[in-house]
Amino acid sequence: MRFLLLFWRALPYADRFTSPRAAKIGAWQAFGATVAFGAFHSWLSSARSKEMTQKLIGERFGRGFYRLFFNVQALVATMALVGVVMSRPQKVIYRATGLKRDAHWAVQLACIVVALWSVKELRFRRFSGVEGAIDAVQAKDAIAEAEAQTPDGTDSLDLERGPYAWSRHPMEWAPLILLWATPLLKTNWLGFNIATTLYMIFGVWQEEKRLAAKGGEAWKRYCSRVGLVFGRKK
């Protein structure tokens, strides 16, 4: 425990002893680790992975517990990824101070609010997978499944509520802005941010295709009124 505390305290000063070459290698290592995380995350999101799980533990429990399992492993894997990125050689790219730093923090706080608001609109119990797990245990015929971070218009959720009235994917864009609005950017986190941005854009593209196929006319009407990133259309 004492070693971890000393390691945490030493991190802000690590870049003073890092060569530019080592920092560049560290950035690529962070990028690669994030790409590997994204590939694993995408595979677990695939229909193939879900089908394999249902064959292994049964359709009811596979459908009911998959979302909860997915979110728990995502949390654990993200914590591991952050640990890997933080441990890479690093140098400071920029550091905001004074009012600029406060502005960065204000933007980050707004992003956190938007992300939490988005989860609320999706219903936390369903989004987290808790509702589906309870349905599976209670042997309900209809199991609540949350497959995306955007309402698809095929259930009782209102498509144009909260942040979803202004963006079709606030759960993706808010975290991205949060990352880039950091008042302190280091080379290792630059690699992480770039890989995460590419993964998020790919994820939005995939999600748009899935929602268009599932949402039908309701989704088409929603897209005609609300922008992909931000804005409302007349």
Domain membership of residue 158 (yes or no) is: yes
Please answer whether residues 168 and 6 qualify as being in contact, where contact means their C-beta atoms are separated by less than 8 angstroms. no
Q: Which domain holds residue 37?
A: 18-225
Domain membership of residue 6 (yes or no) is: no
Domain membership of residue 9 (yes or no) is: no
Domain membership of residue 71 (yes or no) is: yes
> pLDDT > 90: what percent of the chain?
41
Domain membership of residue 22 (yes or no) is: yes
Q: Which residues contact 100 (CB under 8 A, 6 or more apart)?
A: 183
Q: Which two tokens stand for residue 34?
A: 């994030």
Domain membership of residue 7 (yes or no) is: no
Domain membership of residue 180 (yes or no) is: yes
Counting the structural domains of the chain, the total is 1
Query: Which residue in this structure is represented by tokens 């015929």?
Result: 141
Look at 93-97, 179-183, 225-229 and tell me which has the smallest mean pLDDT: 225-229
CA distance 24 to 30: 10
pTM confidence score: 0.84
E strand residue ranges, 34-136: 92-95
Is residue 173 pLDDT above 60, yes or no?
yes
> pLDDT > 70: what percent of the chain?
83
Domain membership of residue 2 (yes or no) is: no
The overall average pLDDT reported for the chain is 84
Angle, to 10 degrees, between the axis of helix 20-45 and the axis of helix 59-87?
A: 180
DSSP code for 139: T
Q: Which two tokens stand for residue 78?
A: 């993200």
Is residue 156 pLDDT above 50, yes or no?
no
